[in-house]
Amino acid sequence: MARNKEGLVLLLDVGPTMYSVLPEIKKVCSMLIQKKLIYGKFDEVGVVVFGTQETDNELTKEVGGYEHVVVLRNIKVVDGDLVDAFQELPRGNFDGDYLDAIVVGMDMLIKKYQATNKGKKRLCLITNALCPIKDSCEGTKEDQVNTIAAQMSAHGMKMESVIVRGRLCGGGDQRIMAENDRLLNLFSEKTSARAVYVESPTALLGAVKTRNISPVTIFRGDLELGSKMKIKVWVYKKTSEEKFPTLKKYSDKAPPSDRFATHEVKVDYEYKSVEDPNKVVPPEQRIKGYRYGPQVVPISSAEWDAVKFKPEKSVKLLGFTDASNIMRHYYMKDVNVFIPEPGNARAALAVSALARAMKEMNKVAILRCVWRQGQGSVVVGVLTPNISEKDSTPDSFYFNVLPFAEDVREFQFPSFSSFPASWQPNEQQQEAADNLVKMLDLAPSAKQEALLPDFTPNPVLERFYRHLELKSKHPDAAVPPLDETLKTITEADPDLLSEKKDVIDAFYNSFELKENPRLKKSSKRLLEKKRSGSDEDCQDTTNALAVKPVKVEKIGDSSPVQDFEAMMSRRDSPDWVSKAIQDMKNKIYSLVENSYDGGNHGKALECLLALRKGCILEQEPKQFNDFLHHLFNVSQEKKLRNFCESLIPRGLTLISKSEAIDSEVTDDEARNFLVKKELKFDYTEFLLKLSEIRHILFMLPFPAPTRTDYGLDYEYKAVTLAKGEQFSKEFEQLNPLRYVPVLVDGDVVVSDSLAILLYLEEKYPQRALLPDDPRRKALNLQVASIVCSSIQPLHMLGLMKRIEEKVGPEEGLLWAQSSIEKGFFALEQLVKDFATRFATGEALYMADVFLAPQIATVVMRFNIDMSNFPILSRVYESYKTVPEFRASSPEAQPDAGS
Amino acid sequence: MELDPDDIFKDDEDDPDSEFYQQRESSKEFVVYLVDASPKMFSSTCPSEDGKEETHFHIAISCIAQSLKTQIINRSYDEVAICFFNTREKKNLQDLNGAFVFNVAEREYLDRPTARLIKDFDGIEESFTKDIGSQYGIVSGSRENSLYNSLWIAQALLRKGSAKTADKRILLFTNEDDPFGSIKGVAKADMTRTTLQRAKDAQDLGISIELLPLSQSDEEFNVSLFYSDLIGLEGDELAQFMPSAGQKLQDMKDQLRKRMFTKRIVRRITLSIANGLSIELNTYALIRPTLPGAITWLDSVTNRPLKTERSFICADTGALMQEPAKRYQPYKNDSIMLSVEELSEIKRVSTGHLHLLGFKPLSCLKDYHNLRPSTFIFPSDKEVIGSTCIFIALLRSMVNLKRFAVAFYGSSSRPQLVALVAQDEIISAGGQVEPPGMHMIYLPYSDDVRHVEEIHSDTNAGAPRATDDHIKKAAALIKRIDLKDFSVFQFANPGLQRHYAVLQALALDEDDIPEINDETLPDEEGMARPGVVKAVEEFKLSVYGENYDEESDMGNGKASDASKKRKTAAENAAKESASYSWPDLADNGQLKDLTVTELKYYLTAHNLPVTGKKEVLISRILTHLGKSCIVMMSISA
């Protein structure tokens, strides 16, 4: 058996109260397996779920009992199937008994490994421990736990329990919870088990150790308190950065037919003389040179060994000092931990006494450490006490490296008191800041501390491994968006922000920020501004036009328009015009791109106007027209729609034939360029609202066709299903089936979303919803049809109610989830070769009109884990950038919340 | 670049290529040292560290020498010139009286410091009277103004290079607070005026003039007599300028060394607070491990520099190829390919700025929540006016409420959670000890934290816990060994100092490598004080009990087994090694015919490292036998 091979059994509670966190559990388990596939390919994993209706485990066959515990997978070597297995995690409908599951898991480990693999057997339990465990026939529950814990210790097993609490479990019987907590903590006391409580999805993702690294001591020996006393200690790393994996370089030189190709790339180094590049020096003929001023002093490693600093391996105490003398920001590196030599009770006692005395007196110790013999440097660091809260764990110390005199750069900074009065906060501002610091609290006393480093997963690595998994299935998969749960790490928690909105608003209103008007260089950084001061800037640049500098060679930051015109007018080389146009394009692009709240838009527009003028003058219409198209697409993608809007009043459109003879654009086309885009969105908004399933749209006095230039006006009328409005008389006249929606166009009445859209497609062809290409057209109809007939009806409220009545209270949701996932898998397959920005291409088509609300609804109502559907997720992200979609999402409806 | 496998200063975990540790090529600094060489500098003394009296001239010279030695290592691209004034001889391009520019061969007046310059300058005091000579340059009845002349010379020297790319400074050492004291009337006023004008002209050209005044023990240097006007001191600055009387040599050197660093912004970032409210910040690296300078590979035969060429070879076909754009990761019996763009997209989970997430009490920041040196942040109003005000308000609130901010820093190399710890300004008599601002502390993620404390938990008996009596004894011990005014960075890095000392000795052809003083060793004397010894004994007795024998202590069975094994191996190696005639083998070039195991006998027997390839082992043996020699070389700049 390989030395570091681990045997792990995951014990997952899938009872009804766990439904809300199952997606997170899937994620963290997949992550665990994905990492094992890379770092622990020989590790073996078994999966047990409990709280299921079925019972399937060996113990129940052998001795009876152990009901509602299913062995999903026996202990075997990790493989790709296991990752997939979590995607179909069953949902149970019984209250799980975690103690039964633990025993089943132990039984599996014992049968698999017997006495071998000591210390490498691990149980990992994830539960909310809301349900009581069964009473035992022999002895109390405590006795039961004690017996099990003793067995665990005897077999050298470890256990990790992740207990889901707080807002994740919705609360339960306090008495039962307290009992379970006591029992689970009893494990921690009696055997090597660890119980952690998590209250947020993020913490759940971080609570399970996804990678097992066997700890290695960096020092074993004496901690010397002077020459008279020594304490035997072992030093380990306490923190160590888990690095992004180093990927190998890939060679595509081997022919594709070569099935044994390694595709590896060898990197070879050759050392050549600087003066004579033909002369290759063999590696052993090299010698290291160290710079000393303009000189280079050659010293061979061996010489160096002879003269270098050679301290003796030792860890010596220099003294104690007040903890306040060591500021936190002087900690230099990752942290070590000093533990007393295992099995040495006297060392443990000595460490305990020192640590506790230091804690009481608020002192720290300063040490000088040389970890290894032959190490060429020493470290000086600070030892701080770590008082153990667990009886079985000895007290220890943390050790942080401190800087040497050479490592500190003593820069002088101005005192805040020397700043002008306008930079000093006044009383009211200080109060606003106090409130913000007080109220934006991540560690409120009633709740668990949010973003505790110990429970915060690394979002980048999580994303990497998920991407790897996706790519293993679909080699062309795009990088998935950052997991929603993990967004609370990279951005402020929206719940917290909305909860403390008044405090934030007060803070916001107390201070004023504005861009420095005297700023010469526009920085490339995003500059979010409170109140746009860009008008001033534009003024400056236009005024500056009067003064013409000579020989401008590139477009600067301060007066781009002026520079551009100067460059265009240079006649000393024909290249200047194209260079000027190119430079200006880049400038505009960077202005638009780097403007957050429209701060640079004014400037960008001025530049665009100048560019247009220049292109007409120099008869380069294509340059400008292409650029404008490009800019348009970019701004749509980047949510910079307001930039496009601001083009209209300034008449910034394509250059037409009448302006420049080379142009391929007619006057009409030019005029409609901006308008058309506008129309597209209004129409889309309308369509999206139309297909919003929960609502009805009816009584629609359609406008005269002449008005369609400006979009379709319609009256929106909601029927709230929950109130049963669809059963009203009035509605029945329109739609006998009483399903929504219904379209009333003059005297034409059409119900059923698909039919409505096809009707509109025929009648109002100015915005086609179906592409011309028959293949794509069919694809769109297929998507629409799948949504309409194979997904949407299967999760209608009525049906679910019915199932719940007939089958069982939890079955409704289960039914809906499985139908939706089935449908989504089909959709994902269907569109995978076509989807780019939207489901069937770059533009919004009928498929999107059906998909958008469908995805929004199911994500909200049925808690579907969209990470299984990377394409749909991506497309869905694009929908969110379409403003009309946001406006028509269920939450934004006029009748939302009723 | 190939990494140096046995670079002694590198921690295994440190990645020298990571963006974090890279230091940028800094802009240059041009310095002219103006040293007053008047007889007064030789006659006035002040006590040195070891109690001896030292002349002011000596102080100035050793100060410069020290600073040159630091500079040649840290900032060897800086250029310096040394000019004495009030001299008998003259040597300068302008041929002005009373000023002597000191220089050595192969060097311009204002140029990078060389080993020769440092060496010759070290010996200047002996040769000074003979070669340069000292005399008062400003005497009544003469129109000569040596101070004016020297300023002129300095300014002319600093004409080189643009003020944009280089910091230009004149450092003036003198103990004469009233240079025109010996003359009277119109002549004095006239000379004062022209000298001040000369200084002002230089300052207008972007040259800063700094005064390093030397006080006599009985009479303090009075800055306000003349020099306050020259260097432009006003009001409070004037009062603060003059350090206390009888300033020590050490202080002077420190002052110089501190000035060696110029403040540089690492990155400009924004902190977005909420609602799109973002403020502008600059980050600074106040604490970074100092590593010895970069290595240049040389040809050991010619001592000429080498360049490294990297080539990529396909392992399957042996074809030479461009640097491949794709990377792969073996996963599930498959190789998953990833483009470089994809990888950077994965890492881009946030913009490259700071996003405030909330606040926590300082007690939530544990001692083990640390990974790397912190980064200092200070507000700026350069682009967004109002940033500083918000920053100050937040800082004060955080200090008062004892809270720190948690933020996400979306850097491109490692996006990370950070703690922003507010720090109030701390000022002591000597100046600013801690600047006001926030320190960004990089927090670990859950998988970066290891639960090693629990590995060795003893679940049967429970871990031993100290009783009150034990703790009392420990407390008594702690009180005894108290470092009262411990300051975090009071120690020089002995490894680094040794490195520099070796380099310096080799470059200057010195025979002995000076011993460096390891400041990090414990204070044996203090530890041996009866009070301390008694406290240690009592604590020991209390926790270990009587008749405790450390050597035969239990618990370490395994380790002693291993060490026994090592011991036998060493003995065996010594025995084996004795059967070879090493010097003969070396002289005949037969070492390469031996096996690595055989070579290791020698190394083990002589306590040398046994790591590395065969060539390395051989060269290590040769060096140990004294069969190779150190060659020196020089590259023209």
Most confidently modeled range among A48-52, A365-369, B484-488: A365-369
Same domain for B239 and B133 = yes
Question: What pLDDT is stored for residue A694 in this prediction?
Answer: 32
- SS3 of residue B412 by DSSP: coil
pLDDT exceeds cutoff 60 at A519: no
Question: What pLDDT is stored for residue B558 in this prediction?
Answer: 45
Residue A436: inside a domain, yes or no?
no
Question: Which residues numbered 198-257 in B keep a CB inside 8 Å of some CB on A?
Answer: none
Mean pLDDT of the A157-171 span: 77
Question: What pLDDT is stored for residue A767 in this prediction?
Answer: 62
Residue B225: inside a domain, yes or no?
yes
Residue A437: inside a domain, yes or no?
no
Question: What pLDDT is stored for residue B145 in this prediction?
Answer: 86
Q: What is the ipTM metric for this complex?
A: 0.71
Residue A528: inside a domain, yes or no?
no
Same domain for A714 and A861 = yes
Q: Cα–chain-centroid distance for residue A711? A: 38
Residue A483: inside a domain, yes or no?
no
Mean pLDDT of the B438-466 span: 81
Same domain for A248 and A184 = no
Mean pLDDT of the A287-315 span: 82
Chain B residue numbers with beta carbons less than 8 Å from the beta carbon of A437 are 359, 394, 397-398, 401, 403, 405
> From the DSSP assignment, how many helices (H) and strands (E) are in chain A?
29, 21
Same domain for B310 and B238 = no
Same domain for B419 and B396 = yes
Measured between CB atoms, does B552 come within 8 Å of chain A?
no
Residue B633: inside a domain, yes or no?
no
- Lowest mean pLDDT: which of A148-152, B20-24, B33-37, B385-389? B20-24
pLDDT exceeds cutoff 70 at A521: no
pLDDT bin (cut points 50, 70, 90) of residue B16 is very low
Q: How many CA atoms lie within 13 A of A365 on its CB side?
A: 34
Last residue of a domain, one of A358, A385, A409: A409
Residue A495: inside a domain, yes or no?
no
pLDDT exceeds cutoff 80 at B65: yes
Q: Which residues pair with B305 in a beta bridge?
A: B298
Say how many domains are in chain B: 4
- Are the CB atoms for B329 and B339 separated by under 8 Å? no
Same domain for A355 and A329 = yes
Last residue of a domain, one of A409, A432, A460: A409
Q: Tell me the one-letter amino acid at B372.
A: R
Is there a contact between B470 and A349 if contact means CB atoms under 8 Å apart? yes
pLDDT exceeds cutoff 60 at B27: yes
Question: What pLDDT is stored for residue B404 in this prediction?
Answer: 93
Mean pLDDT of the A554-571 span: 72
- SS3 of residue B5 by DSSP: coil
Residue B82: inside a domain, yes or no?
yes
Is there a contact between A346 and B284 if contact means CB atoms under 8 Å apart? no
Nearest to A396 among B453, B471, B637 (CB): B453
Residues in chain B: 637
| Residue A143 token pair | 């006795």
| Residue B235 token pair | 């009001």
Residue B14: inside a domain, yes or no?
no
Q: Which residues pair with A161 in a beta bridge?
A: A125, A195
pLDDT exceeds cutoff 50 at A29: yes
- Lowest mean pLDDT: which of B19-28, B328-337, B359-368, B531-540? B19-28
pLDDT bin (cut points 50, 70, 90) of residue A533 is very low
Question: What pLDDT is stored for residue B562 in this prediction?
Answer: 56
**Which is nearest to B159 in space by CA: B172, B145, B170?**
B170
What CATH number has the domain bearing residue A302? 2.40.290.10
Last residue of a domain, one of A637, A665, A693: A665
DSSP state at residue A500: T
Question: What pLDDT is stored for residue B458 in this prediction?
Answer: 64
Question: What pLDDT is stored for residue B30 in this prediction?
Answer: 86
pLDDT bin (cut points 50, 70, 90) of residue A631 is confident
- SS3 of residue A132 by DSSP: coil
d(CA B637, CA B632): 16
Same domain for A185 and A46 = yes
Alpha helices in A841-894 (DSSP H): 846-862, 870-881, 883-888
What CATH number has the domain bearing residue A881? 1.20.1050.10
d(CA B105, CA B109): 10
Measured between CB atoms, does B163 come within 8 Å of chain A?
no
Rounded to the nearest 5 degrees, what angle is found at the Cα of B115, between the Cα atoms of B113 and B119?
105
Residue B550: inside a domain, yes or no?
no
DSSP E strands in B6-165: the ranges are: 28-36, 45-47, 53-55, 79-85, 99-102
What CATH number has the domain bearing residue B86? 3.40.50.410
Query: What rounded mean pLDDT belongs to chain B?
Result: 77
Same domain for A758 and A642 = no
**Which is nearest to B358 in space by CA: A500, A755, A323?**
A500
With b for 16 or more beta-carbon neighbours within 10 A and e for fewer, the A110-122 pattern comes to eebbeeebeebbb
Residue A459: inside a domain, yes or no?
no
Mean pLDDT of the B451-465 span: 74
Residue B514: inside a domain, yes or no?
yes
d(CA A111, CA A109): 6
d(CA A462, CA A477): 16
Measured between CB atoms, does B464 come within 8 Å of chain A?
yes
Question: What pLDDT is stored for residue B246 in this prediction?
Answer: 41
Same domain for A199 and A90 = yes
Last residue of a domain, one of B210, B234, B259: B259
Nearest to A266 among B315, B343, B470 (CB): B315
pLDDT exceeds cutoff 90 at B420: yes
Q: Packing angle between helix A427-439 and helix B387-401, nearest 10 degrees?
A: 60
Residue B363's CB is within 10 A of a number of other CB atoms, namely 10
- Choose between A667 and A464: higher pLDDT: A464
d(CA B207, CA B30): 9
3-state secondary structure A353-383: HHHHHHHHHCEEEEEEEECCCCCCCCEEEEE
Residue A441: inside a domain, yes or no?
no
Residue B568's CB is within 10 A of a number of other CB atoms, namely 10
Is there a contact between B72 and A292 if contact means CB atoms under 8 Å apart? yes
Question: What pLDDT is stored for residue A674 in this prediction?
Answer: 57
Quickly tell me which residue has 């029992």 as its tokens.
Answer: A183
Domain that holds residue B618: 564-625
Same domain for B286 and B250 = no
Same domain for A234 and A381 = yes
Is there a contact between A291 and B294 if contact means CB atoms under 8 Å apart? yes
Q: How far is B618 from chain A (nearest CA, A)?
A: 10
What CATH number has the domain bearing residue B325? 2.40.290.10
What CATH number has the domain bearing residue B520? 1.10.1600.10
The residue of chain B nearest to residue A346, with distances taken between CA atoms, is B544
pLDDT exceeds cutoff 60 at B29: yes
| Residue A810 token pair | 């939890």
Same domain for A396 and A248 = yes
Q: Is A79 exposed, middle or buried (0-12, 13-18, 19+ CB in 10 A)?
A: middle
Mean pLDDT of the A143-165 span: 83
Last residue of a domain, one of B515, B544, B573: B544
Same domain for B79 and B158 = yes
Last residue of a domain, one of B259, B282, B297: B259
Question: Which residues numbered 503-522 in B keep a CB inside 8 Å of some CB on A?
Answer: 503-504, 506-507, 513, 516, 518, 520-522
pLDDT exceeds cutoff 80 at A379: yes
| Residue B522 token pair | 């414990």
Same domain for A135 and A236 = no
Same domain for A789 and A648 = no
pLDDT exceeds cutoff 70 at A862: yes
Same domain for B496 and B439 = no
**Which is nearest to A587 in space by CA: A524, A510, A658?**
A524
Query: What rounded mean pLDDT belongs to chain A?
Result: 75
d(CA B494, CA B507): 20
Is there a contact between A273 and B299 if contact means CB atoms under 8 Å apart? yes
- Choose between B566 and A503: higher pLDDT: A503
Same domain for B277 and B249 = no
Question: What pLDDT is stored for residue B156 in this prediction?
Answer: 87
Question: What pLDDT is stored for residue B493 in this prediction?
Answer: 84
Same domain for A702 and A646 = no
- Lowest mean pLDDT: which of A301-305, B246-250, B383-387, B406-410? B246-250
Same domain for B568 and B525 = no
Domain that holds residue A30: 7-207
Question: What pLDDT is stored for residue B419 in this prediction?
Answer: 92
DSSP conformation letters of A134-162: PPPSSS-HHHHHHHHHHHHHHTTEEEEEE
Question: What pLDDT is stored for residue A677 in this prediction?
Answer: 44
Say how many domains are in chain A: 4
pLDDT exceeds cutoff 50 at A682: no
Mean pLDDT of the A243-261 span: 78
Same domain for B276 and B191 = no
Same domain for B421 and B316 = yes
- Lowest mean pLDDT: which of A196-200, A204-208, A793-797? A793-797
The residue of chain B nearest to residue A384, with distances taken between CA atoms, is B367
Same domain for B420 and B394 = yes
Q: How many CA atoms lie within 13 A of A451 on its CB side?
A: 28
DSSP conformation letters of A533-594: -HHHHHHHHHHHTTS--S---S--SS-HHHHHHHHHT--S-THHHHHHHHHHHHHHHHHHHT
With b for 16 or more beta-carbon neighbours within 10 A and e for fewer, the B16-51 pattern comes to eeeebeeeeeeebbbbbbbbbbbebbbebbbeeeee
**Which is nearest to B352 in space by CA: B284, B271, B277?**
B271
Residue B88: inside a domain, yes or no?
yes
pLDDT bin (cut points 50, 70, 90) of residue B440 is very high
Residue A724: inside a domain, yes or no?
yes
- What percent of chain B shows pLDDT beyond 70? 82
Question: What pLDDT is stored for residue A683 in this prediction?
Answer: 42
Measured between CB atoms, does B50 come within 8 Å of chain A?
no
Question: H or E element: which one contains B34?
Answer: strand B28-36
Is there a contact between B386 and A511 if contact means CB atoms under 8 Å apart? yes
Same domain for B226 and B129 = yes
Question: What pLDDT is stored for residue A169 in this prediction?
Answer: 67
d(CA B333, CA B120): 67
What CATH number has the domain bearing residue A574? 1.25.40.240
Same domain for A135 and A97 = yes
Question: What pLDDT is stored for residue A629 in this prediction?
Answer: 78
Q: Which residues pair with A280 in a beta bridge?
A: A272
d(CA B35, CA B83): 6
**Which is nearest to B359 in space by CA: A450, A166, A506, A509?**
A450
Nearest to B114 among A253, A270, A293 (CB): A293
Residue B4: inside a domain, yes or no?
no
Is there a contact between B555 and A342 if contact means CB atoms under 8 Å apart? yes
